[in-house]
Amino acid sequence: MDLLLLEKTLLSLFIAIILAITISKLRGKKIKLPPGPIPVPIFGNWLQVGDDLNHRNLTDYARKFGEIFLLRMGQRNLVVVSSPDQAKEVLHTQGVEFGSRTRNVVFDIFTGKGQDMVFTVYGEHWRKMRRIMTVPFFTNKVVQQYRHGWEFEISQVVEDVRNNKDAATVGIVLRKRLQLMMYNNMYRIMFDRRFESEEDPLFLKLKALNGERSRLAQSFEYNYGDFIPILRPFLRGYLKICKEVKEKRIQLFKDYFLDERKKLASTTALDNNGLKCAIDHIIDAEKKGEINEDNVLYIVENINVAAIETTLWSIEWGIAELVNHPEIQQKLRHELDTMVGVNVPITEPDTYKLPYLQAVVKETLRLRMAIPLLVPHMNLHDAKLNGFDIPAESKILVNAWWLANNPENWKNPEEFRPERFLEEESKVEANGNDFRYLPFGVGRRSCPGIILALPILGITIGRLVQNFELLPPPGQGKVDMTEKGGQFSLFIRNHSTIVAKPRVF
């Protein structure tokens, strides 16, 4: 770093400290902020709290400061909500006030400053994008159009695993093959495309760029520059890499998928009878002038981040829990054998008549919530929450993991026990009908992908349990369930090696 930059930074730091002290003195106690640790000028609580704002650390603060608390992370206000009542207030009662998303320097790069849908503020643009995306992605018609494709994809997984000798002996990282399946499930919907194998060069490129995008956006590394704007110059290198990844990725979506589809549409009549895939509908909206080509590409970007890994993590957690709970796995297999039939492959319509399978999926989403703090919300204007003043543009985190794992609200929440959803919690659904259980959020910004995610989870887990006995690798009692992440997403630290012993019918 050059000396001039250092000099400028120190000078700005000094001025900012003086300013912060003066402002805080001037403001006095006029507003009533939520409780929280005492902040220091400039850094706020950042030096005390650190960068790792995961669901468990935030739960510890909730125990100390209550259902609403405030962390001053440098210049940013972070409000954390940790009770069903306050979650209801944020997501439902004051859903408009708290319905925006925070932005930061890194997300601004990946979303073209909110030209997408997932990370844009609540308003006209979001409404239009959500409307345009609903028909091609988020209806039961889409499920009916693509369920045969999803059933085919999992049958290919079963076949590949059966043909892999290691699977039945030393074990394999099942996730790797399931990742290809999830890409195919979503790329069929988006572009009517699939990838033949894990070695497909285009699939590899896509996977690598999506992986980089997730890593860069979810990292704690850039928090300091986000919290303390005067330190932003030090992020230059990081932001340059983000820009490169973003450019390459958008170009890949355009060259290999969007332009291909536009070309096909210009030579073939794509009608409504099954030939039209999601992107054709989105291109129609572009042709009508409702959105531009950048918006189309950001929709592709959003589906790549929101749909594929979230569902894959949940499948991975579910399988790992079943490996570590053989009695639950056996009970599920018994349900499948008796209700669907031995050696009769489960299909999407079957999933609704299999209560134990549904309970296994729900329990996985409860204990191993893929997005434990939901996607951060934001209030555009000053707001009130339970008598506290919430300054405009605060980042609002709903600790959905804690809502679903708080022993005050759940019986032995640390246990993986699907039976709870057939017994004391039999009325609780994943769609947000109970504010203690919000794996997909609820309200305006809730996950529209739930309609696809639940059947995909059911078919995938169901078929694997129908076809294999899933076990830990030889010499290992259980698979390692250590968590990683938590600030944005919660995944398993080590992808489990799993023995999949084919059942003989």
Binding part of the chain for ligand HEM, among 144-152, 245-253, 318-326, 367-375 by CB under 6 A, reads 367-375
How far apart, in whole angstroms, are the C-alpha atoms of residue 57 and residue 372? Answer: 12
| Cβ-based neighbours of 35, under 8 Å, separated by 6 or more | 65, 66, 68, 69, 70
Among 68, 79, 277, 375, binds ligand HEM (CB under 6 A): 375
Nearest 5 degrees, angle CA 126-CA 128-CA 447? 55
Nearer to ligand HEM (CB atom), residue 104 or residue 164: 104
Q: Which of 326, 349, 385 is nearest to 458 (CA)?
A: 349
- Quote the least distance from Cβ 404 to ligand HEM, whole Å: 12
Question: Which of the stretches 20-28, 243-251, 325-333, 366-374 binds ligand HEM when contact is defined by CB under 6 A?
Answer: 366-374
Position 87 contacts ligand HEM (CB under 6 A): no
**Nearer of residues 46 and 107 to ligand HEM, judged by Cβ:** 107
- Minimal distance, residue 481 CB to ligand HEM, in Å: 18
Distance of alpha carbon 192 from alpha carbon 443, whole angstroms: 30
- The arrangement of strands across the sheet holding 68-73 comes to 68-73, 76-81, 395-398, 377-378
Shortest gap between Cβ of 268 and ligand HEM (angstroms)? 25
Q: Which residue lies nearer to ligand HEM by CB, 456 or 470?
A: 456
Residue closer to ligand HEM (CB basis): 125 or 130:
130
Q: Which of 71, 118, 161, 283 binds ligand HEM (CB under 6 A)?
A: 118
Contact (CB, 8 A) for 428 and 370: no
Q: Measured from the CB of residue 389, what is the shortest distance to ligand HEM in angstroms? A: 23
Minimum distance of ligand HEM from residue 361's CB (angstroms): 9
Query: Is there a binding annotation on residue 277?
Result: no
Rounded to whole angstroms, the Cα distance separating 334 from 340 reads 10
Residue 452 is a binding residue for ligand HEM (CB under 6 A): yes
Q: Report if residue 306 touches ligand HEM, rule: CB under 6 A.
A: yes
By CB under 6 A, tell whether 329 contacts ligand HEM: no
Judged by beta carbon, residue 39 or residue 449, the one nearer ligand HEM is: 449
Nearer to ligand HEM, 252 or 451 (CB): 451
Q: Under the criterion CB under 6 A, does residue 379 sit at the interface with ligand HEM?
A: no
Residue type for 484, please?
A: K
Comparing CB distances to ligand HEM, the nearer of 46 and 463 is: 463
Which is nearest to 301 in space by CA: 486, 176, 117? 117
Confirm or reject binding of residue 130 to ligand HEM (CB under 6 A): yes
Question: What is the nearest approach in angstroms of ligand HEM to the Cβ of residue 370?
Answer: 4
Is the CB of 105 or the CB of 451 nearer to ligand HEM?
Answer: 451
Kindly state whether residue 446 participates in binding ligand HEM, applying the rule CB under 6 A. Answer: yes
- What does the block give as tokens for 466? 């129908």
User: Which C-beta is closer to ligand HEM: that of 332 or that of 442?
Assistant: 442
Distance of CA 239 to CAs 75, 236, 300, Å? 20, 5, 22
Would you tell me the crossing angle of helices 450-467 and 309-324 to the nearest 10 degrees? 40
Least separation in angstroms between residue 136's CB and ligand HEM is 10
Q: What residues does 501 pair with on adjacent strands?
A: 469
Residue 488 to residue 373: CA distance in whole angstroms: 7
Q: Is 491 helix (H, G, I), strand (E, B) or coil?
A: strand
Q: Does residue 61 touch ligand HEM according to CB under 6 A?
A: no
Kindly state the number of chain residues that form the binding site for ligand HEM, as judged by CB under 6 A: 25
The least distance separating ligand HEM from the CB of residue 70, rounded to whole angstroms, comes to 19
Nearest residue to ligand HEM, by Cβ distance, number only: 449
Q: Does 461 bind ligand HEM (CB under 6 A)?
A: no
- Tell which positions 213-252 bind ligand HEM, by CB under 6 A: none
324 contacts ligand HEM (rule: CB under 6 A): no
- 439 near ligand HEM (CB under 6 A): yes
**Distance (Å, whole) CA 168 – CA 119:** 43
**3-class secondary-structure state, position 341:** coil
Q: Which long-range contacts (CB under 8 A, 24 or more apart) does 278-282 make?
A: 278/136, 278/137, 278/142, 278/189, 278/190, 278/191, 279/136, 279/190, 279/191, 280/136, 281/132, 281/135, 281/136, 282/132, 282/133, 282/136
Q: Which stretch binds ligand HEM (CB under 6 A): 71-79, 238-246, 262-270, 310-318?
A: 310-318
Are 452 and 142 spatial neighbours (Cβ–Cβ below 8 Å)? yes
Output the six-digit token pair for 72: 């001053």
What whole-number distance in Å separates Cα of residue 13 and Cα of residue 74?
A: 12
CA–CA separation, 317 and 492 (whole Å): 7
Q: Does 84 bind ligand HEM (CB under 6 A)?
A: no
Task: Report the C-alpha gap between 390 and 32 in whole angstroms.
Answer: 8
Query: Is there binding between residue 449 and ligand HEM (CB under 6 A)?
Result: yes
The answer to the question of residue 137 lying near ligand HEM (CB under 6 A) is: yes
When binding is defined by CB under 6 A, the residue of 77, 111, 115, 311 that contacts ligand HEM is 311
Where do contacts with ligand HEM occur on this chain (CB under 6 A)? Answer: 117-118, 130, 137, 302-303, 306-307, 310-311, 314, 370-371, 374-375, 439-441, 445-449, 452-453
Binding site, by residue number, is 447
Binding site for heme, by residue number, is 447
